Amino acid sequence: MHRRRHEGANPIATSSSRRSAVQPDGPGEALASELAALLGFSRDALKERWQEIYGHSPPSHLAGALLMRAIAYRIQEPSYGGLDPATRRQLARAARDLAAGREPSNRSAPIKPGTRLLREWHGVLHEAIVLEQSVTYRGQNWPSLSAVAREITGARWSGPRFFGLHRTRRSRDGS
């Protein structure tokens, strides 16, 4: 059975599977209208809207498309939520590093199971496969990448660093 759409009706709201999610003339429609209106804004209008939302002028070098996206994000933030606390901390840490003239630290995400890591050591290619709770190396399960690195080198290594997952720090003279 096909439903006839009424002129001016919200196509999302007329879908029976989504009727409760967005009601015509409800807050969802108001948000969608506000976002759609941004598409017609001039650069000057985008700058004004930025000033209203962020409380300061936008950086002069931002392109209009990026201004629009940042404004759209801020408009949607109250309805859909902002960044999670871990992401906020990571961004704050990166900002502090940049302000201090350092390259932001790169705390990598966990390695997904099934990832194959390769490393050449003394002319021999070594392969480790990351599993849910362990690492396979030469057909044997190891508790961590560090244990594998220790087996390969005979010395205590950070496994992630040994397999190139963390960049080595630069010396103080920048070399």
d(CA 115, CA 165): 12
pTM: 0.46
In a domain, 142, yes or no: yes
> What is the four-CA torsion angle of 56, 58, 60, 66, rounded to 10 degrees?
180
| Residue 130 lies in domain | 116-162
Do 121 and 76 sit in the same domain of this protein? Answer: no
In a domain, 167, yes or no: no
Last residue of a domain, one of 36, 53, 80: 80
For residue 90, what pLDDT band results from cuts at 50, 70 and 90?
Answer: confident
Per-residue b or e along 23-43, where b marks 16 or more CB atoms closer than 10 Å to that residue's CB: eeeeebeebeeeeeebeebee
Do 23 and 75 sit in the same domain of this protein? Answer: yes
For residue 82, what pLDDT band results from cuts at 50, 70 and 90?
Answer: confident
Average pLDDT over residues 30-38: 91
Do 62 and 123 sit in the same domain of this protein? Answer: no
N- to C-terminal Cα separation, the chain: 71
Q: 7: which residues sit within 8 A by CB, 6+ positions away? A: none
Do 16 and 62 sit in the same domain of this protein? Answer: yes
pLDDT tens track for 114-166: 999 999 999 999 999 999 999 999 999 999 999 999 999 999 988 988 988 87
Q: What is the pLDDT of residue 64?
A: 87
In a domain, 63, yes or no: yes
In a domain, 65, yes or no: yes
Residue with tokens 């390969």: 152
In a domain, 36, yes or no: yes
The structural domain count of the chain equals 2
DSSP 3-state of 164: coil
Amino acid in position 63: A
Concatenating the DSSP letter of every residue in 72-130 gives HHHHHHHHH----HHHHHHHHHHHHHHHTTPPPP--PPPPPTT-EEEEEETTEEEEEEE
For residue 84, what pLDDT band results from cuts at 50, 70 and 90?
Answer: confident
